[in-house]
Amino acid sequence: MRIPRRASALALGWALTVSSAGAYYHYIHYTSATAPYLPVPEKFDLSALPNKTVTIFVSDAGPKKFPANDSLPSVLTQVGQATQVWDGVATSDLRVSFGGLYADGTEGATPGGEVVFDDEVPPGLLAITTHTAANTAVTGPDGSFFPITRSVMHFRSDLTQAPGPSYSEGFYLTVVHEIGHALGLQHTFTSSVMSTAVTRATAELAPLDADDIAAISLLYPRNFGGNTGTVTGTVTAGGAGVHMASVVALRPGGSAISALTNPDGTYRIDGIPPGNYFIYVQPLPPTANITSPQDLNGKPVAPSGAFQGVFYPNASDQGKATVVSIQAGVSKDGIDFSVNRKNSVPIYDVSTYSFYGQAAAHPAYVNFVPGAATIAAAGVGLGSNGHLTAGLSASVLGTAFLAPGGLRAYGTTPTYLALDLMFGLVTPTGPQHIVFSDSGNVYVLPAGIKLTKTDPPSISSVSTDATGNVVVTGTNFAPDSQVYFDGLPAATAIVDVSHAAVIPPPGVSGQTAVITVYNSDGQNSMFLEPSPVPAYTYPGTSAPASSVTLSPSVLPAGARAMVDINGVNMNFTDGFMNVGFGSSDALVRGVWVLSPTHALVNVQVADNALPSSSYATVISGFQVNAQQNAFQISAAVPDLPVVEPVLVNAVWVPSGVYPGATVSLSGLNLGGTKTTVTINSLSATILNASATQISLVIPAKLQPGPAILRLNNGTTSAYPVVVTIVPAPPSISTVQDVSNVNISSTNPAHPGDILNVQVTGLAAHDASVAPGRVKITAGGDNIPAGSVTEVNGTAWLIQFTLDQAVPTGDQVPLTVSIDGKTSLPAYISIAP
Answer for which of 89, 96, 159, 173 binds other proteins (CB under 8 A) is: 173
CA distance 815 to 818: 10
Contacts to other proteins from residues 269-288, by CB under 8 A: 286-287
Q: Does 676 bind other proteins (CB under 8 A)?
A: no
Q: Does 29 bind other proteins (CB under 8 A)?
A: no
Contacts to other proteins from residues 185-214, by CB under 8 A: 186-187, 196-198
Q: Does 344 bind other proteins (CB under 8 A)?
A: no
**Distances in Å between the alpha carbon of 632 and those of 565, 584, 591, 613?**
15, 13, 19, 4
**Length of the chain, in residues:** 832
Answer for which of 9, 15, 418, 687 binds other proteins (CB under 8 A) is: 418
DSSP-derived 3-state class of residue 566:
strand
Q: Does 95 bind other proteins (CB under 8 A)?
A: no
Question: Segment contacting other proteins (CB under 8 A): 121-129, 622-630, 726-734, 794-802?
Answer: 121-129
Q: Does 122 bind other proteins (CB under 8 A)?
A: yes
Q: Does 541 bind other proteins (CB under 8 A)?
A: no
Q: Does 35 bind other proteins (CB under 8 A)?
A: no
125 or 426: whose CB is closer to other proteins? 125
CA distance 553 to 586: 12
Answer for which of 51, 157, 291, 512 binds other proteins (CB under 8 A) is: 291
Q: Does 130 bind other proteins (CB under 8 A)?
A: yes
173 or 726: whose CB is closer to other proteins? 173
Q: Taking Cα atoms as reference points, which of 277, 340, 269 lies closest to residue 305?
A: 340
- Write each residue from 622 to 661 as x if it is in contact with other proteins (CB under 8 A), else as -, in one continuous string: ----------------------------------------
Answer for which of 5, 124, 404, 772 binds other proteins (CB under 8 A) is: 124
**8 Å CB contact between 201 and 448:** yes
CA distance 635 to 639: 13
Question: Segment contacting other proteins (CB under 8 A): 70-78, 358-366, 553-561, 625-633?
Answer: 358-366
How do 112-118 and 143-156 pair as beta strands?
parallel
Question: Segment contacting other proteins (CB under 8 A): 150-158, 329-337, 470-478, 487-495?
Answer: 150-158
186 or 236: whose CB is closer to other proteins? 186
CA distance 234 to 391: 29
Answer for which of 136, 467, 681, 740 binds other proteins (CB under 8 A) is: 136
174 or 617: whose CB is closer to other proteins? 174
Q: Does 362 bind other proteins (CB under 8 A)?
A: yes
205 or 691: whose CB is closer to other proteins? 205
146 or 581: whose CB is closer to other proteins? 146
**Distances in Å between the alpha carbon of 638 and those of 135, 551, 557, 558, 641?**
33, 22, 10, 10, 9
Cis before 784? omega within 30: no
CA distance 221 to 87: 13
Answer for which of 3, 315, 360, 503 binds other proteins (CB under 8 A) is: 360
Instruction: Give every CB contact of residue 686 below 8 A, 6+ residues apart in sequence.
Output: 675, 676, 677, 694, 695, 696
CA distance 682 to 251: 56
**8 Å CB contact between 140 and 21:** no
Q: Does 120 bind other proteins (CB under 8 A)?
A: yes
Answer for which of 14, 98, 155, 615 binds other proteins (CB under 8 A) is: 155
Instruction: Give every CB contact of residue 275 below 8 A, 6+ residues apart in sequence.
Output: 251, 254, 325, 326
**8 Å CB contact between 550 and 563:** yes
Instruction: Give every CB contact of residue 158 below 8 A, 6+ residues apart in sequence.
Output: 63, 64, 65
115 or 788: whose CB is closer to other proteins? 115
Q: Does 419 bind other proteins (CB under 8 A)?
A: no
CA distance 784 to 734: 18
Q: Does 52 bind other proteins (CB under 8 A)?
A: no
Q: In degrees rounded to 5, what are phi and psi of residue 369?
A: -60, -40
105 or 404: whose CB is closer to other proteins? 105
DSSP-derived 3-state class of residue 431:
strand
Answer for which of 101, 378, 728, 798 binds other proteins (CB under 8 A) is: 378
**8 Å CB contact between 589 and 645:** yes
Cis before 363? omega within 30: yes
- Maximum distance among all alpha carbons in the chain? 86
Q: Does 157 bind other proteins (CB under 8 A)?
A: no
What is the Cα Rg of the chain in Å?
Answer: 29
Q: Does 342 bind other proteins (CB under 8 A)?
A: no
Q: Does 405 bind other proteins (CB under 8 A)?
A: no
61 or 708: whose CB is closer to other proteins? 61
Answer for which of 410, 651, 687, 705 binds other proteins (CB under 8 A) is: 410
Answer for which of 35, 64, 90, 104 binds other proteins (CB under 8 A) is: 104
Q: Does 133 bind other proteins (CB under 8 A)?
A: yes
CA distance 200 to 447: 9
The DSSP letter of residue 48 is G
Question: Segment contacting other proteins (CB under 8 A): 32-40, 169-177, 316-324, 762-770?
Answer: 169-177
Answer for which of 351, 482, 617, 823 binds other proteins (CB under 8 A) is: 351
196 or 724: whose CB is closer to other proteins? 196
CA distance 463 to 453: 28
Min dist CB 232 to other proteins, Å, is 27
CA dihedral 275, 280, 281, 285 (to 10 degrees): -100
- Site of interaction with other proteins (CB under 8 A): 27, 104-105, 114, 116, 119-120, 122-136, 149-150, 152-155, 161-163, 170-171, 173-174, 177-178, 181, 186-187, 196-198, 286-287, 289-291, 298, 351, 353, 355, 358-360, 362, 374, 376, 378, 410-411, 416, 418
